[in-house]
Amino acid sequence: MDSYSIESHKKKSRFPARLDFLQSATGLVLGVFVWVHLLFDSSIILGKGAYHFVSKNLELAFLSETGHGFPIAVFFAALIIFTIFIIHALLGVRKFPISWKQHRILRDQMQMLDHSETSLWYVQVVTGFLMFFVGSVHLYTMLTNPAGIGPYLSADRIVSGNMWPLYLVLLVCVVLHGNIGLYRLCMKWGWFAGKDARKSRQTLQKLKNRVIVFYLTIGVLALLVFTVIGINHRDKVGERYMGHAMAAEGTQDLEESQPVESAQEMEAAEVVEAPDAVEAPEAIEEAEVAEDPDVLEEAEAAEEAEDLEAAEALEETQPVEQSHE
Amino acid sequence: MNDQGRILKFQVFRYNPQKKGDKPRMVTYEVTEAPGMTVFIALNDIREHQDPSFQFDFVCRAGICGSCAMIINGQPTLACRTLTSTYENGEIKLLPLPGFELIGDLSVNTGKFMRAMSERVESWIHDADADEVDFHRLEERMDPDVADQIYELERCVECGCCVSACATKRMRPDFLSAVGFVRLARYALDPRDKRSDEEFYEIIGDDDGVFGCMTLLGCEDYCPKDLPHQTQIAYLRRKMALVR
């Protein structure tokens, strides 16, 4: 068949199409990953036991006989995510208003036109840029110290390791960038358009806003709970949380120690409240509410803990384990 | 609401590039509001009674020709379809559409841009067998739904609002922009146009084309004719991403 294009003698490269698709695909994977990741992180709100359970199982503990899991799984997960993250950053940076002139025009345009979608895109540019750094630090930590993630290690990292400012910035960036991006993906490719694309867009906009509020809330709460645990645990940095071992000693002990621990946490929370001043009272409430299911879960875990030897082994390794800072 | 007799304050961009030594400036004009007054009517009032050198475009005064598009209080829209009563404080700021060649004051050369766009997307039916049409036979029938879709996209009046509302286009002047995509989507839908996807790819298959669109949706949100830019650009993007 004859060709109609004026420039038909030279075929256009398919690269732009592949790159555009790849940018969307990597963004989709990262966005959904962050959804799941933050949900798992927030299990700390339910208690140390819940977080321990989640982190152990993410190390594929259910596959190993000793219940130790394979920290190498975390390493590979981090490696894959880091790779996708770098590809996405590389592709995303093509769209940045990279020259002064482009940036000037964009700012002028935003000043002239009060258009939320354009502003949201600028938010993505800024948060994306910040994540080059904060995201990389976090991913590098996961690559180099994949082992032993648990409530105490994470809390120590956040408080004694001074990582809380980084995690706070990363949380805000990733929640905004990711969810705005997922919404934009739907618009870009016409997903979930249904019969009335405009109505679907409004629904997706609302959904996006709610998801952002939800993840920011549980994210900040989780960070606060970690901070409380971390401050409480400041003198014992490096000690690992022994869900099964502690439970194996008997639920009686745990229950007895509960009020004391709670009081300690209250004190700690009060200390935190002043410098942070971010929904601290609610966090305390949450933390208190979270105590009961925590104990229950540990009690259940104790009943299920048949492998006492393994528990003892864990206990023995305890002093050897050092914090990853 | 009794807004009759209200004094409207128009802050208007004035600059004539043809005049030596002229500098861009904002000039304020006061106009007494009349019932049902549009910005377009007010502009005519200013030109007739206050400054005959004031330049702006209009033809149809009914939202059909697309000539009177300008930035009204920060929004690209048609002056003839904007009631002055919309603005409660009676202050209206007018700027020429950015992204186009300025003729003078509020008048921009959208025609030149649209002509270039039409040529770039080859805005005509492509059919190699068009010369061998048998005029004694009836044309092939078109599915009414397809015809409706095509007519929907043909409602574009080339006013240029989508171009001015697009930050991508502003930052990257070679970007085709929404009006071009909608035009091309119209031909992609048309069964009489025999161009293949590979041939459409030659026109929009790069970062100045559909892959340059960052989905800021200014086109969709500021189209005075409510054209479905978002769905059409998504349609082209899906189509072009699948070209092998």
Mean pLDDT of B144-150: 96
* Residue A9 counted as domain residue: no
For residue A270, give its domain range: 18-317
Contact between chains at B199 and A8 (C-beta distance less than 8 A): yes
Tally of domains within chain A = 1
A4 part of a folded domain: no
Using an 8 Å CB-CB cutoff, list chain B residues near A19: 211
Cβ-Cβ contacts under 8 Å, A205 against chain B: none
We report the CATH number of the domain holding residue A207 as: 1.20.1300.10
- In angstroms, how far is CA B60 from the centroid of its own chain? 15
Q: How confident is the model at residue B98 (pLDDT cuts 50, 70, 90)?
A: very high
Neighbour-count burial of A169, counting CB atoms closer than 10 A to its CB (0-12 exposed, 13-18 middle, 19+ buried): middle
Question: What does the alpha-carbon distance between residue A23 and residue A17 come to, in Å, rounded to a whole number?
Answer: 10
Residue A286 to chain B, least CA–CA distance (Å):
39
Tell me if domain B7-107 and domain B110-241 are identical in fold: no
Reported confidence tier of residue A65, pLDDT bands at 50, 70, 90 = confident
Which residues of chain A neighbour B199 with C-beta distances below 8 Å?
A: 3-5, 8
Question: What is the spatial distance between Cα A184 and Cα A99, in angstroms, rounded to a whole number?
Answer: 24
Task: Give pTM, 2 decimals.
Answer: 0.82
Average pLDDT over residues A157-161: 93
What's the pLDDT score for residue A301? 46
Q: Within a domain: residue A180? A: yes
CA distance A43 to A40: 5
Q: What pLDDT does residue A71 have?
A: 84
Q: Is residue A6 part of a domain?
A: no
In a domain, A324, yes or no: no
Q: What angle do CA B3, B4, B6 make, to 5 degrees?
A: 70
Assigned domain for A322 exists: no
Average pLDDT for B71-92: 96
Domain range annotation of chain B: 7-107, 110-241
ipTM comes to 0.92
pLDDT at A59: 87
CATH topology of domain B7-107: Ubiquitin-like (UB roll) (3.10.20)
Q: What is the pLDDT of residue A95?
A: 94
Confidence of residue A278 (pLDDT cuts 50, 70, 90): very low
Is the residue at A205 inside a domain? yes
pLDDT surpasses 60 at A5: no
A16-19: long-range contacts, CB 8 A cutoff, minimum separation 24: A16/B205, A16/B206, A16/B207, A16/B209, A16/B211, A17/B201, A17/B205, A17/B211, A17/B240, A17/B241, A17/B243, A19/A91, A19/A94, A19/B211
Best A2, A15, A118 member to test B by mutation, with max B CBs in 10 Å, is A118
Superfamily (CATH) of domain B110-241: Alpha-helical ferredoxin (1.10.1060.10)
In a domain, residue A12? The reply is: no
